[in-house]
Amino acid sequence: MNQKLHFPTFSVFAVMIVPLMVLLGESHERNDPPGKQSRSDPDFVVSLTVSGDEVNGNPIPYVLRFGFKPEATDGYDEENDDWSGDRYAPPPPPPPSFDAALSWQQDRYYTQILNGSANDLLEHVWDIQLQYPEDEIIQVTWNNTGWSNLMTSCQLQDAFGAELISIDMIDLIPAITTTGCSLDTTNSNQPILTISNPAFTILKVKVTPMANAFLNQTPFADAGENQTVFELNQAGVNDTTGAPLFSPTVVTLDGSGSFDPDLNILAYDWESLDGILLVNEDTQYPTFEAPEVSESTQYKFKLVVNDEEFESEPDTVNVIVMPNLPVAVAGEDFGVAEGIQAVLDGSGSYSPDGFNLSFTWTVPMGINDYLGVTDDSLIFTAPAVDEPTEYLFSLVVNDGDFDSGPDSILVTVLENGPPVANAGTDQTVIEDIEVTLDGLHSYDPSTTGTFTFLWTSVDGTIILSDPAETNPTFLSPQVEDTTDFIFTLVVNDGAYDSEPDTATVTVLMQNFNTELVGHLEYEQGLNDVWGYTAADGNEYALVGSNTGTSIVDVTTNPSEPEEVAFISGLESTWRDIKTYQNYMYVCTEAQQGIQVVDISSPEEAALVETWTGANDEGVSVHNIFQGDGYLYVVGTNASFGDMHILDLSNPAAPVLVGTWTGEYLHDVYVRDNYAYGAGIYSSTMYIIDISDKSNPTTVASWTYPG
């Protein structure tokens, strides 16, 4: 923009249009209603901008508008068809946050327009309330173009009787008699008052309006600040490689600083003087895509605004588009032990334009054994050291035209010593199961590098899946008696072997014989049993009977199990029981639904809920399965599907979240987001994808004989 200082006008806070009270400041009271507009009534709106604090290097601006209109009152005026009305300011944030607002009649405003009347050409006073940011610096700026045609006088003064600050805002005649305040009039149309003395919490704007000699005034175009942008902007990353993805930078021009003294609505006419295609060139914020450039290139844009009667003088703004430089990525800092070969990986470097890169590594003094200075990876051997020593490498890449900035990587070389093997804890297992050895906690105290593993079976009878793995596996053998198998682990850091560490795996001979310890007789038929362990460690049998569910203590006296609670239900020869957390779920082929029973204290078990289906219909259920916090319900008579998925997030109140419709399932098993269902009437097995519980779908099915 030519010869203007302009602060960005982005919105800092969402302004709430609500009344605010208990604020300080002088007021000008006027009881006369606004009169009909005439050529002599003052009719103008001007503004000043108060800035402080910084967000991303830009000061936060508050634009405070004041003035006179014949249709305004001296109170709060709503927006109407002729003008945008007054605008309240919200309460200030807690100190030391920056804040500024106009104070008028004990209210806070961003815009407060008074009644303009040729009978009231007297001095009117607005207060500016200030709250200082943490750096205690505030700037006040205004564009006084044309003010001499609107006001007889306009003074900006302190609240101490104008003893310390008194500035003629039109002619810029300052009278400042205190430290911490300065007025910059380099641009006579855009002066800047800087205040760094937080004692000035209130400034006064004293305005004596002039009789209006104009029915309409020429608007002012403001094309915004000059900009410098890169031709490309990162738009994301490649999902597979993680490499950055780029698209042309979208540049937004900003004409929001344009204004009309009469507050008329403006029409915008932007024009590129260099053939750039603008989008929405008739709005405040047109955009364009930055063109490809081989060198820094300046583009100029012109803005003219129109209030339907007068056209403004043009204002221009320059946008410099720069080619994107390549980016060097030398990798993350790391440590390595002396004598170990290390690799620096610069393959993450990139050119936003997609050009091929050349690489140049800078190797510090003290590193003598290396290769690949012009490759994407540099290989070197860490030198011998007497104490931890840092070496700073740097990488520069070139895309054929431009060098990147250097990127550095710090490598700390440590004195080397043997690593420490950790073969894990001893284990006790039964025959014929997969056993996993654990060397994960092995470490090297002198380096953050990697090392190799070597596992050995001491008696040579066990064959490991891979002796060089961190966690090799084997199948526990059959034994004639309890037998110990010992394994040793040695790790190597590239220079030293560790001392061996051992882990013992004890294999127990399985005894398939069982012995009856106790029993409990019932006077009715039984149909299911499930187990439950209470919080105190006691175990209970959950026994389904023809008329309900029996809860049996099998821990206190295993030889004489005792029924401690009974949950009644509709009579049926079939029940199925499952548990989740401290709740028991019971289904039956009677049309009873699913009972939800609180068994946190089994002796005081209580029915807390009965799930009866989406339509609250009587539901008979043949089987249920609990897995991953959901209850899978099959074998129902419900009309809304053949498998129902209930969410147990609230275990006391299951919620239906999904259904599957295929055919009647006799039983179901769930694992790893798949349900395996048995359709007994068609001899069909189903595999159902339940990763989306709200939309289970069949992924495979097959029939079986019988």
Q: 292: helix, coil or strand? A: coil
Percent of the chain with pLDDT over 90: 67
- For 517, residues 6+ apart whose C-beta sits below 8 A from its C-beta are 558, 559
> Does residue 250 sit in the same domain as residue 364?
no
Q: What is the pLDDT of residues 209-242, one digit of tens each?
A: 988 755 567 899 999 999 999 988 887 877 776 7
Structural domain contains residue 23? no
> Residue 532 class from Cβ within 10 Å (0-12 exposed, 13-18 middle, 19+ buried)?
middle
Confidence of residue 129 (pLDDT cuts 50, 70, 90): very high
Spell 226-255 as b/e; 16+ CB within 10 A means b: eeeebbbbeeeeeeeeeeeebebbebebbb
Beta bridge partners of 669: 676
What does DSSP say about strands 315-322 and 227-230: parallel, antiparallel, or unpaired?
A: parallel
Yes or no: say if 563 and 529 are a contact pair by the CB < 8 Å rule.
no
φ/ψ of 357, rounded to 5, equals: -115, 150
> Does residue 269 sit in the same domain as residue 312?
yes
What does DSSP say about strands 427-430 and 501-508: parallel, antiparallel, or unpaired?
A: parallel
> Does residue 279 sit in the same domain as residue 364?
no
What does DSSP say about strands 389-398 and 473-475: parallel, antiparallel, or unpaired?
A: unpaired
Q: 700: helix, coil or strand? A: strand
Under DSSP, the state recorded for 230 is E
Q: 149: helix, coil or strand? A: helix
Question: What is the mean pLDDT of the segment spanning 316-338?
Answer: 92
Q: 257: helix, coil or strand? A: coil
Q: Give the range among 171-175, 189-193, 400-404, 552-556 with minimum mean pLDDT.
A: 171-175
- For 377, residues 6+ apart whose C-beta sits below 8 A from its C-beta are 343, 344, 345, 346, 347
Length of the chain: 706
Under DSSP, the state recorded for 465 is S
**How many domains does the chain divide into?**
5
> Does residue 131 sit in the same domain as residue 175?
yes
Q: Which of 488, 482, 471, 477 is nearest to 506 (CA)?
A: 482
> Does residue 48 sit in the same domain as residue 191?
yes
Residue reference for tokens 């239906």: 656
Q: Give the range among 287-291, 383-387, 597-601 with minimum mean pLDDT.
A: 383-387
> Does residue 200 sit in the same domain as residue 299?
no
Under DSSP, the state recorded for 321 is E
Q: What is the CATH number of the domain that holds 353?
A: 2.60.40.10
Structural domain contains residue 520? no
Structural domain contains residue 58? yes
Structural domain contains residue 501? yes
Distance CA(309)–CA(339), nearest Å, equals 83
Where are the extended beta strands (E) located within 524-673? 526-533, 539-545, 548-553, 562-568, 575-580, 583-588, 594-598, 606-611, 621-627, 630-636, 643-647, 655-660, 667-671
160 pLDDT exceeds 50? yes
Structural domain contains residue 698? yes
Yes or no: say if 464 and 473 are a contact pair by the CB < 8 Å rule.
yes
> Does residue 381 sit in the same domain as residue 479?
no
Percent of the chain with pLDDT over 70: 91
Q: What is the pLDDT of residues 417-470, one digit of tens each?
A: 888 999 999 999 999 999 999 999 998 877 655 789 999 999 999 999 999 999
Residue where a domain terminates, one of 414, 435, 463: 414
Beta bridge partners of 317: 301
Question: What is the mean pLDDT of the segment spanning 309-322?
Answer: 93
Yes or no: say if 138 and 93 are a contact pair by the CB < 8 Å rule.
no
DSSP letters of 576-612?
EEEEETTEEEEEESSTT-EEEEE-SSGGG-EEEEEE-
- For 69, residues 6+ apart whose C-beta sits below 8 A from its C-beta are 34, 42, 43, 44, 45, 83, 113, 115, 116, 263
Q: C-alpha 352: how far from its chain's center?
A: 25
Distance CA(312)–CA(222), nearest Å, equals 10
Q: Is the peptide bond before 95 cis (omega within 30 degrees of 0)?
A: no
Distance CA(503)–CA(367), nearest Å, equals 41
Model pLDDT, residue 35 = 30
57 pLDDT exceeds 70? no
> Does residue 202 sit in the same domain as residue 73?
yes
What does DSSP say about strands 407-414 and 334-337: parallel, antiparallel, or unpaired?
A: parallel
Residue reference for tokens 């339940």: 690
Region of 605 on the Ramachandran plot (φ > 0 left; ψ -120 to 50 alpha; else beta)? beta
Spell 298-319 as b/e; 16+ CB within 10 A means b: ebebebbbbbeeeebeebebbb
Confidence of residue 607 (pLDDT cuts 50, 70, 90): very high
Task: For residue 66, give its domain range.
Answer: 44-209
Q: Using CA atoms of 5, 7, 8, 9 in order, give the dihedral in degrees to the nearest 10.
A: -120
Structure-token pair, residue 260: 């009309």
Question: What is the mean pLDDT of the segment spanning 457-485?
Answer: 94
> Does residue 362 sit in the same domain as residue 405?
yes
> Does residue 570 sit in the same domain as residue 667?
yes
Q: Which of 31, 61, 35 is nearest to 48 (CA)?
A: 61
Structure-token pair, residue 177: 């008699």
Under DSSP, the state recorded for 259 is B
Structural domain contains residue 221? no
Q: Which of 464, 449, 458 is nearest to 501 (CA)?
A: 458
Across the chain, mean pLDDT equals: 88
> Does residue 371 sit in the same domain as residue 431?
no
3-state helix, strand, coil in the chain (%, to 5): 0, 45, 55
Residue where a domain terminates, one of 269, 289, 322: 322
Residue where a domain terminates, one of 388, 414, 440: 414
Q: What is the pLDDT of residues 1-13, one digit of tens each?
A: 333 333 333 333 3
Structural domain contains residue 176? yes
Q: What is the pLDDT of residues 196-211, one digit of tens each?
A: 999 999 999 999 998 8
Residue reference for tokens 């284990």: 427
Yes or no: say if 110 and 102 are a contact pair by the CB < 8 Å rule.
yes
Residue spans of alpha helices (H) in 393-458? none
Where are the extended beta strands (E) located within 401-518? 407-414, 427-430, 434-436, 452-457, 473-475, 483-492, 501-508
Structure-token pair, residue 544: 């389904």
Distance CA(517)–CA(47), nearest Å, equals 94
Q: What is the pLDDT of residues 98-120, one digit of tens each?
A: 999 999 999 999 999 999 988 88
Structural domain contains residue 107? yes
Apex 602 CA angle, 598 and 604, nearest 5: 75
Under DSSP, the state recorded for 147 is G
Structure-token pair, residue 697: 């779908």
pTM for the whole structure: 0.34
> Does residue 66 sit in the same domain as residue 136?
yes
Beta bridge partners of 454: 490
